[in-house]
Copies of this chain bind each other. A is one copy, B any other.
């Protein structure tokens, strides 16, 4: 069992292990869970006796205002008080949604997260971001509202389909690029030694903790976590959100490393290609640069001032900067060539 501490202003712990003991809640509990992980939800319910249990389907379709309204009204209908806690059990979509419910019910109650996908453990459940989608775009509504605790239950992760398990570790690999940690850059080594998963996840989560501690409000430091995400969001949009987030980020990371090379940095594309193969990433959508640029301009992160890129110049050497159109287009051509080879 591993215990990580997230410092101010978050002030909570992240537990990683098998059959983690449920914490003592401050008040009555509303348990919001993805029915896909009902065994874990049932174990928590048996332990705590929640006032309310609500099933929430995993997936982006749940991150909308009508579902948010249903959950809020259920909490209000059960007269949950200010000292109530929301316990969220599921992937990142369920924890994002439940976190925003907690952030806004009675102007804010506490919450705890049991992320049940590798992606949610590494990415969604640390950092305090909660939120919803609008038809106009993803994550356009929400709040910064750190959970009181995060509990990465390895028994739940063990039940994930292999491809989902691997897809989620793209974000951990990204953390490896940010820091140069060779363990994070070789997730395939986990296959040989599954007991290594706890250590692997702890390393990945620790990178995110370090970044968000330095920059709660996404001023500068936190933007490094967007490595690979700028193109990824455009690829997701161009695919009509058929391309899963982890795969989109993997393709985005390949683009980022080719951009770094184009700008005079090291060539870091080789391990990313290995990652694409290991995750069995599907080919990206065949959109051209002009189409993707259109999506880039609409990304919420790009709305203030100019569009800035997170560029890896070497392992552990990532910079945030504006990039001239010519370099972007050359990197894109190189990326398109690799993608075509991969698809073929």
- Residues in A121-141 with C-beta less than 8 Å from chain B: 129-131, 134-137, 139-141
Chain B residues within an 8 Å CB radius of A304: 27, 81-83
Do B140 and A81 touch across chains, with their CB atoms under 8 A apart?
no
**A52 interface residue (CB < 8 Å to B):** no
Given the known interface contacts A81-B303, A82-B303, the answer about A143 and B72 at a Cβ–Cβ threshold of 8 Å is: no
Do A143 and B143 touch across chains, with their CB atoms under 8 A apart?
yes
Interface 1/0 per residue, A300-315 and B, CB below 8 Å: 1001100000000000
CA distance A300 to B129 in the complex (A): 26
CA distance A80 to B27 in the complex (A): 39
Interface residues of A (CB under 8 A from B): 27, 65, 68-69, 72-73, 76-77, 79-83, 100, 103-108, 129-131, 134-137, 139-144, 298, 300, 303-304
CA distance A65 to B82 in the complex (A): 21
- The answer, among B72, B107, B143, for a CB contact under 8 Å with A129, is B107
Do B134 and A72 touch across chains, with their CB atoms under 8 A apart?
yes
How many chain copies does the complex carry? 2
Do A137 and B76 touch across chains, with their CB atoms under 8 A apart?
yes
Nearest B-chain residue to A301, judged by Cβ: B82
Given the known interface contacts A81-B303, A82-B300, the answer about A65 and B76 at a Cβ–Cβ threshold of 8 Å is: no
Chain B residues within an 8 Å CB radius of A65: 65, 68-69
8 closest A-B pairs by beta carbon, nearest first, are A81-B303, A76-B136, A81-B304, A107-B142, A83-B304, A76-B140, A82-B304, A76-B134
Chain B residues within an 8 Å CB radius of A82: 300, 303-304
Interface centre among A76, A107, A108, A142 (most CB of B within 10 A): A107
Chain B residues within an 8 Å CB radius of A105: 140-141
Do B73 and A106 touch across chains, with their CB atoms under 8 A apart?
no
